[in-house]
Amino acid sequence: MTHQTPYHQTDEYLVKQTLQGDKLAFSMIIKKTEGLVAQIVFKMINAPADRKDLAQDVYLKVFKNLQGFKFQAKLSTWIGQIAYNTCLHYLEKKKLVLFEKFESEDDFKDELVSQINQLNHYSNNDTEKLLSGKELSGILKIEVDKLTPLYKTLITLYHNEELSYAEITQITSLPEGTVKNYLFRARRILKENLLSKYKREDL
Within this chain, domains 6-93 and 105-202 share the same CATH topology? no
Distance, CA of 186 to CA of 150 (rounded, Å)? 9
Q: Which CATH number fits domain 6-93: 3.10.310.10, 1.20.120.720, 1.20.58.760, 1.10.1740.10?
A: 1.10.1740.10
pTM equals 0.74
Distance, CA of 15 to CA of 25 (rounded, Å)? 7
In the chain, domain spans: 6-93, 105-202
Q: For 104-144, write each residue's pLDDT tens digit.
A: 344 444 444 444 444 444 444 444 454 445 445 677 778 88
DSSP state of 159: I
Q: Which CATH number fits domain 105-202: 3.40.50.1220, 1.10.10.10, 3.30.1600.10, 2.40.160.10?
A: 1.10.10.10
Mean pLDDT of 73-96: 91
Span of 13-17, 79-83, 154-158, 193-197 with lowest mean pLDDT: 193-197
Sign of CA dihedral 142, 93, 60, 54: positive
CB 149 within 8 A of CB 98: yes
* Residue 13: HSE in the Cβ half-sphere, 13 Å Cα cutoff: 9
3-state secondary structure of 123: coil
